[in-house]
Structure 1
Amino acid sequence: MSDSAVLTAPPTLQVLHDDGDLVAIDKPAGLLVHASTLDAHEALNALDLLQAQLGRSLWPLHRLDKGTSGVLLFATSAQAAAHWGAAFREGRVRKRYVALVRGWPPAHGRIDHPLARDPERPSAGQPMREAVTLFERLACFEWPFAVDGRHATSRYALVAVEPLTGRRHQIRRHFKHIAHPLIGDATHGKGVHNRAVAQWLGVQRLWLHAQAMQLPRADGGAVRIEAPCGAEWGRLQTEGVPEPIPTCS
C-alpha cells in the first residue's frame, strides 16, 4: 500500500499566499515537491507545475513527503530563499500538522528522540540528530472492525502536531517510536491498520496534513498561512464517531 494518493492528471495548484517574496500552495497528497531520483518514474512535481503556472522561477524552502498534503512554501528569488531558509534553520518557523494515528495516545505529549539523518538507511552507524515533536490529541475513535484478534474493535486518534525540529520523516518516525504510527504510512506504519482504515473510510492516503505555517516578519510580526483539511478528513466526523469532533481549524 502506497503512502500517497494517486494523481491521475496534472493539477492546477491552489495558491494560498503570494506577496512577491514568498509563495505558498496547498500541495495535494501524492505530489512530489521537486524531481527526485528516489521517485525517478514520477513525471509531476510541485516546483515544475507551479513555475509553469505562475511563469517565474521559484526556490523550495522546505519539504513535504509525497504523501503529505498542505502548506508548501517557495521563495521567488535566491535572496528571499536565503532569508527564509535561515528562518527555517534557526527554528523560527512554526508548523502545525494534523494526523490520524493508531491507538489513543496521551492527551498531550512531547517526543524528544534523536533521529538518524537518513531514514532510508539503518540507523546504526549514522550520526543521531536532535529531534523534538509536540502533540495534542484532538479526538478518539473506536471503529467496529477487528485488526487484532484479541479485540472486536480498533482504536485511532486525530492529533495536532508541532515539530520543533525539521528532520526527514520526523513526525512519522516519532509516532512510530511511541507505538502510535500514522495511518497510511507504508514505511513506518502498520500495513494491517493501513488497509483496514482505507477500507473503512473509503480513502487510501497518508493521513498527514500540513495545516499551518507561521513565519517571522522583519517588523516583529508574523505571516501565518493555512491550508484547510481536504474533504476526506471530514469522513472522520461521520464514520463511526460517537460524538462531534473539532474541525481542522
Structure 2
Amino acid sequence: MNDPIPILHHDDLCIIVSKPAGMLVHRDAKSRTFEQLLLNTVRDQIGAYVYPVHRLDRNTSGIVVFALTADAARTLQATLTDASTIKEYLALVRGVTPERFESDRPLRNEAGEPRPSRSVFRTVHQYDRCALIAVRVFTGRHHQ
C-alpha cells in the first residue's frame, strides 16, 4: 500500500493535492500500464472521480488541482490558460545564479517543432552550492 497523497484543500468543486516527484498525473502515450498515477490514487483516496485541471511533469513535485465535475474542470482550465493568471514555481537548482534572468528560448514540442517560450527567474536565496529560485512562466510549454 502506498502512502496517501496529502490533501491541501477539498470542497464541492475541487481538490488540491501535493504531488510527489516521480509520479505521473495521468496516463500518457509513454506511460507503463502498471505504474501508479496521481489521478487514480486521488480518486481512490476520496472515493470520487476527479478531473485533472493541469499537470506537472513526472519528476516535479508540487500542487495539482483536480476538479470534481467536468464543468468545474472546464472553468478552472480556462482560468489557468487566461493570460492574467500568474504561474510561478519554486525550484532548487545547483550552482550560483544571477539575481534575475530571463529565457525566451523556443522549446520543441513532441513533433520537434519549436514553440515560443518565456520564463523569468529570480533568485530567492543563494546557498553555497545551490540556489532557491522563483520561476514565472508566461507560456505553458512541456518541460518549461
The residue that corresponds to 1:165 in the other structure is 139
The residue that corresponds to 1:90 in the other structure is 82
Return the alpha-carbon distance in structure 2 between the equivalents of residues 95 and 109 of structure 1.
Answer: 17
The residue that corresponds to 1:31 in the other structure is 23
Return the alpha-carbon distance in structure 1 between the equivalents of residues 23 and 34 of structure 2.
Answer: 9
Name which structure has the greater RCO, CA cutoff 8 Å, separation 6+: 1
Structure 2: where are the runs of 5+ without partners? none
Q: Which has the larger radius of gyration?
A: 1
Residues 94 and 42 of structure 1, relative CA distance in 2, 3 Å threshold: farther
Q: Percent identity?
A: 35
Q: What is the letter of the counterpart of residue 117 of structure 2?
A: A
Is 1:56 aligned to 2:48, yes or no? yes
Matched position secondary structure for 1:167 = coil
How big is the alpha-carbon RMSD for the aligned residues of Structure 1 and Structure 2? 1.8
In the TM superposition, what whole-angstrom CA distance separates every residue of 1:155-189 from its partner, at most 9, and x where no partner exists? 4322111112210000xxxxxxxxxxxxxxxxxxx
Structure 1: where are the runs of 5+ without partners? 1-8, 143-154, 171-249
Is 1:138 aligned to 2:124, yes or no? yes
Contact 1:94 1:162 in 2 (8 A): yes
Q: CA deviation at 1:42?
A: 4.4
Return the alpha-carbon distance in structure 1 between the equivalents of residues 12 and 85 of structure 2.
Answer: 19
Q: Which is worse superposed, 133-142 or 66-75?
A: 133-142
Q: What is the letter of the counterpart of residue 32 of structure 2?
A: A
Return the alpha-carbon distance in structure 1 between the equivalents of residues 3 and 84 of structure 2.
Answer: 31
Return the alpha-carbon distance in structure 2 between the equivalents of residues 42 and 36 of structure 1.
Answer: 13
Return the alpha-carbon distance in structure 2 between the equivalents of residues 90 and 114 of structure 1.
Answer: 21
TM-score scaled by structure 1?
0.53
The residue that corresponds to 1:103 in the other structure is 95
The residue that corresponds to 2:64 in the other structure is 72
Is 1:129 aligned to 2:115, yes or no? yes
Q: 1:226-241 residue pairs with structure 2 within 5 A?
A: none
Contact 1:10 1:44 in 2 (8 A): no
In the TM superposition, what whole-angstrom CA distance separates every residue of 1:49-85 from its partner, at most 9, and x where no partner exists? 1111111111101111111111001111111111111
Contact 2:97 2:126 in 1 (8 A): no
Residues 37 and 167 of structure 1, relative CA distance in 2, 3 Å threshold: same
Q: CA deviation at 1:139?
A: 2.3
Matched position secondary structure for 1:10 = coil
Contact 1:133 1:163 in 2 (8 A): yes
Tell me the matched-pair count: 144
Matched position secondary structure for 1:53 = helix
Return the alpha-carbon distance in structure 1 between the equivalents of residues 72 and 22 of structure 2.
Answer: 27
Q: What is the letter of the counterpart of residue 35 of structure 2?
A: A
Return the alpha-carbon distance in structure 2 between the equivalents of residues 141 and 46 of structure 1.
Answer: 32
Q: Which has the higher strand share?
A: 2
Return the alpha-carbon distance in structure 1 between the equivalents of residues 34 and 122 of structure 2.
Answer: 35
